[in-house]
Chain A
Amino acid sequence: MSTTAPPKPEPAKVETAFSVIGKRNRKIEGRRKVTGAAVYTDDLAFPRMLHARILRSPHAHARIKSIDLTRALAHPGVVAGCTGKDMPVPYGIIPWTRDEYALGLDKVAYVGDAVACLAATDERTAAEALALIEVEYEVLPTVLTIEDALAHDDEPHQVNPFAKKGNVSKHVGLTFGDVDGALAASDVTIEETFEYAGSTHVPIEPHCAIGVPELNGVITVYSSTQVPHYLHRELARVLEMPADRIRVIQPTVGGGFGGKSEPFDLEFCVAWLARATGRPVKLLYTREEVFYAHRGRHPMRLTYKAGVSKDGALTGVKSKIHIDGGAYSSFGLVTTYYSGQLLTAPYRFPTYEFDSTRVFTNKPCCGPKRGHGSVQPRFAFECLLDMLAEKVGMDPIEIRRKNFIGDNTRTVNELRVTSNGFLECLSIVERASGWKERFRKLPFGKGLGVAGSMYISGTNYPIYPNDMPQSAVQIRVDRSGRVTVFCGASDIGQGSDSLLAYVVAEELGVELEAIRVVAADTDLTPVDMGAYSSRVTFMVGNAAIDAVKKLKKPIQQAVAEHWDVPAHSVWLAGGKVGTWDDPEKSMSPAEAFVLAESKFGTLGSVGSYNTPKDVHGTYRGGTIGASPAYSFTAHIAEVDVDVETGMVDVKKIWLAHDCGRAINPTLVEGQMDGSAYMGFAEAIMEEQAFKPTGLHDGPSLLDYKIPTSMDCPAFESHIVESVDAEGPYGAKEAGEGPLHPSVPAIANAIHDAIGVRMTQLPFTPAKVLKALREKRTAGRAWKGVV
């Protein structure tokens, strides 16, 4: 018996025909980030700039009877202020659930909800003057749990007046096949309830926005957003201004993870105050405010029942899910669908049913955190699958192989799956972790656990219905040889700008250094939907390829005429232009651009990408969860559980992820490591918790603990390339999928280590000790220890 895993082998060198794709290139903005030269929103300053702060509700639920700014506005240094009445148009990222105001209009719905905003000559003055705002509240009864929300749905208890009924934010129930019949006919069924705790994104950069008044009544908003386009739309709506008078610019963003993927109060406030004062206005959240802005992982209670035949083949899966949404909708409509729709691969479900209800509660609003809506059900189901394997006497990896759905197929809920490298993922982590030699054979307290998952590479439909492209890229080249790429895509650290440069350099055959990327500026760049739902590589990459293909034709034609060779024989690659007809002939891209510019005039092109629309079911809701391609992941976690203290020490996570093709393996590994880290953090230590009054348990990084360098396990990331037929060079997503299996792999490893099933997150020492006590009481043996 070996107690250690084999060392990671050197990656195999794969020769490709690419000059840029698949290479470990640096990020185009990397040098700025390591020298302190990268400019984030709070690094910007403008002449005569004011600083704003927001007054927040001390009550979890209250009617606002009156707000008086008189004393605050008289405070020396205070220049202007605004309240909900100044922006009475509701907004919301999903057009069907616009249920928030920039500042509370007639009520507040959680501790920290925005009430009023002041702009002053400096930040400290603005903060001091908040205390002079007089607000009269009528305190209302609070609803803090799913049970409360469902039990009390009369008017004073109604958290969100936009709800159609009581405190129900959204209900979705979908059935695919005769699941009850299938479960009744199964050899083995198991039912179990799981509780997934809420957690928040914690980007190290707090949200920041600056409103700047420009000529002709234009307002520019600089914001640390990951969705400049949607922000642009909602600013126009709430400020009641034509969209062409608003410009949104996204400077460098210090992390998002979904926490900056919708508009927030600060962006509306700085725009309004800039318009009202004629001066630039900056607002930087305190760390405490970031916890209130939230939009993080939804707490969910999930009851699953699943059946298998004796050979381990799944027969049916049925779930009932309750989702704690907090005070507003955010992306909640989508979350509710995702909680059911995204579970149907990589395993084949012959029958399936889910029934999900999202409720409103008097807490900060939940939303899309990395792996939106599907991390919680994935945890529950992968644990259940482990239990089923145990019951039918199968190896947990074998039961996963047995139920593999395959590639180029449809799921039970009619999602079209194209490439699928899940089996290879499983084999890689099985081998790397020494699974066969070590699973169920490690000493008591030590264990291994496996889990798998799938995730979308963007959504087939944008957030608001329209027939326009989901991504667009514009390219301009000129006689200098420089290639400028314009795109609305949003780099939040994942490498979106670099992706654009890599794809254009490869496709146009120029050197990476010749590329300039202009991104995320609504005045300059064609619309892209933004950095969410793991859509950027797939959609932006394809749009860029489309743009280059159009641009390349006149260049090839001009060179061909110059050399008197056929146009199709002219190639551009690796910073050179040549022809297959004559190996002696060669010129630089700049020379080729001069020829083309002379012949055709100024050179430029636009390209775009839109999703295929026939890849999902026609039932109501069938479009939600549909993606042009899905990524697949497998994890194996190794844990060491101290049965005296209940501490779970996650030693290592081996993960393999099918990203289609790694446009840049270093960046893909970075996304994989970071995803596995975030899943580990949710499994072991993080919880967005509240006191019975609705007060946040500790809105600081001292109280809300995220892993330090001392806490993290080792992450060993292995890339699997299934080369998707529709992805750019075969690429799919890498930023969110690899998070999902972390949590269930750790839970399953804890079971291997000490024989208890952890069903409630996070797996704190108290919960582990409680589970151990219950097991001792039940007298079940595990690895010879009672």
Chain B
Amino acid sequence: MKQVLQLIVNGEPQSCAVEPERTLLEALRYDLGLTGSKQGCDKGDCGACTVLVDGEPTLACITLALSVDGQRVTTVEGLARGPELHPVQDTFDQYGAAQCGFCTPGMLVSAWACLEQNPSATVDDLKLALSGNLCRCTGYTKIFEACLKAGERLKTEREKAGAR
């Protein structure tokens, strides 16, 4: 029997009725219309479904929707700052880090979490942070490049904010 699921998704309260076996990914994609998060394997292997649950990167395809009832969920649609892209979204676009783009939503969520915590993340830090997100197009080269550039921009932003 369906139960009511309440979430704060990308800052907005959302609710829908879901079966107990509904995954968070299904709820986001099919019940709430947020199709940015992707299903690549449906068993937690590829990372294309990665979203933030209370700030932590989480595999939405192996998370039951009702198990995160009441929590804050951030998807790729929630990374931008209003009409402005977050630096890591912008650098992914600028440096060719998204080819087919299918791993990109999950990859961006993991990269966002890593860089927001540590804008000085090195390639080795990034390798670890992104190791749960499979990309088949890029060999990760341009993803690392985009993340490093985004980290620099974030640091500059924070320095400017700190100086004020």
Contact = CB atoms under 8 A, between A and B. Distances in A.
B141 A493 contact: no
B53 interface: no
Contact of B45 (A284, A701, A710, A712): A701
A699 to B, nearest CB: 11
Nearest to B135: A204
Contact of B136 (A34, A203, A700): A203
User: Counting chain A CB atoms within 10 Å of each CB, which of B46, B77, B136 scores highest?
Assistant: B136
B128 A710 contact: yes
A641 interface: no
A286 interface: yes
A257 interface: yes
B35 A715 contact: no
Contact of A712 (B30, B76, B140, B142): B140
Contact of B100 (A42, A203, A673, A717): A203
Contact of B101 (A254, A256, A673, A717): A254
A36 B35 contact: yes
Nearest to B128: A710
Given A33-B93, A677-B138, A712-B139, A700 B41 contact: yes
> How many of chain B's residues touch chain A, expressed as a range?
35 or more
B137 A287 contact: no
A40 interface: yes
B102 A673 contact: no
Contacts of B139: 673-674, 676-678, 680, 712, 715
A205 interface: yes
A35 B89 contact: yes
Contact of A204 (B77, B130, B136): B136
B92 to A, nearest CB: 5
A709 interface: yes
A619 B43 CA distance: 51
Interface in A16-72: 26-27, 29-40, 42-43, 45
Given A203-B100, A666-B96, A673 B141 contact: yes
A302 to B, nearest CB: 26
Interface stretch (B1-9, B63-71, B103-111, B155-163): B103-111
A34 B134 contact: no
Interface in A277-316: 284, 286-287
B98 A204 contact: no
Interface in A478-499: 492-495
User: Counting chain B CB atoms within 10 Å of each CB, which of A205, A286, A709 scores highest?
Assistant: A709
B41 A287 contact: yes
Interface in B24-63: 29-30, 34-43, 45-46, 48
Q: Is the interface of B mostly helix, strand, loop or mixed?
A: loop
Contacts of B48: 204
Contacts of B39: 42, 206, 284
B90 interface: yes
B94 interface: yes
A102 interface: no
B134 A708 contact: yes
B14 interface: no
User: Counting chain A CB atoms within 10 Å of each CB, which of B43, B133, B135 scores highest?
Assistant: B135
A717 B138 CA distance: 12
B72 interface: no
Interface string B73-98: 00111011000010001101111101
A362 B105 CA distance: 38
Given A35-B89, A709-B131, A674 B37 contact: no
B45 A34 contact: no
Nearest to A494: B99
Interface in A666-683: 666-667, 669-670, 673-674, 676-678, 680
B127 interface: yes
A204 B103 contact: yes
A656 to B, nearest CB: 15
Given A43-B35, A494-B99, A669 B104 contact: no
A342 interface: no
B102 A203 contact: yes
A125 to B, nearest CB: 12
A33 B42 CA distance: 21
A702 interface: yes
A287 B43 contact: yes
Contacts, number: 171
A255 interface: yes
Given A34-B92, A204-B135, A39 B35 contact: yes
> How many of chain A's residues touch chain B, expressed as a range?
35 or more
Given A34-B108, A674-B137, A709-B133, A701 B41 contact: yes
A700 B61 CA distance: 15
B121 interface: no
Contacts of B144: 709
A32 B92 CA distance: 11
B126 interface: yes
Contacts of A286: 42
Nearest to B26: A123
Contacts of B37: 36
Nearest to B39: A42
Contact of B102 (A255, A667, A714, A717): A255
Nearest to A43: B35
A749 interface: no
A33 B98 contact: yes
A734 to B, nearest CB: 12
Contacts of A712: 139-140
B102 A254 contact: yes
A709 B103 CA distance: 13
A34 B41 contact: no
A287 B92 contact: no
Given A204-B134, A673-B138, A35 B38 contact: no
B138 A30 contact: no
A706 B43 contact: no
Contacts of B108: 34
Nearest to B141: A673
A706 B141 contact: no
User: Counting chain A CB atoms within 10 Å of each CB, which of B102, B139, B140 scores highest?
Assistant: B139
Contacts of A492: 100
A284 B29 CA distance: 14
Contact of B42 (A256, A287, A670, A709): A287
Contacts of B80: 35
Contacts of B131: 708-710
A559 interface: no
Contacts of A204: 38, 40, 46, 48, 100, 102-103, 134-136
Top 10 A-B residue pairs of the complex, sorted by shortest distance between their CB atoms: A36-B36, A493-B100, A254-B102, A677-B139, A33-B101, A701-B45, A36-B76, A43-B35, A30-B93, A493-B99
24 contacts: A33-B93, A34-B85, A34-B92, A34-B98, A34-B104, A36-B35, A40-B38, A42-B39, A254-B101, A254-B103, A255-B99, A284-B39, A493-B99, A494-B99, A666-B95, A667-B96, A669-B141, A670-B142, A673-B142, A677-B140, A700-B41, A700-B45, A706-B134, A715-B139
Interface of B: 29-30, 34-43, 45-46, 48, 75-77, 79-80, 85, 89-90, 92-96, 98-105, 108, 126-128, 130-144
Given A33-B93, A35-B77, A708-B134, 17 more contacts: A27-B98, A34-B108, A36-B37, A36-B105, A37-B36, A204-B46, A204-B103, A204-B136, A287-B43, A287-B45, A493-B100, A673-B141, A678-B136, A701-B45, A701-B134, A709-B140, A710-B131
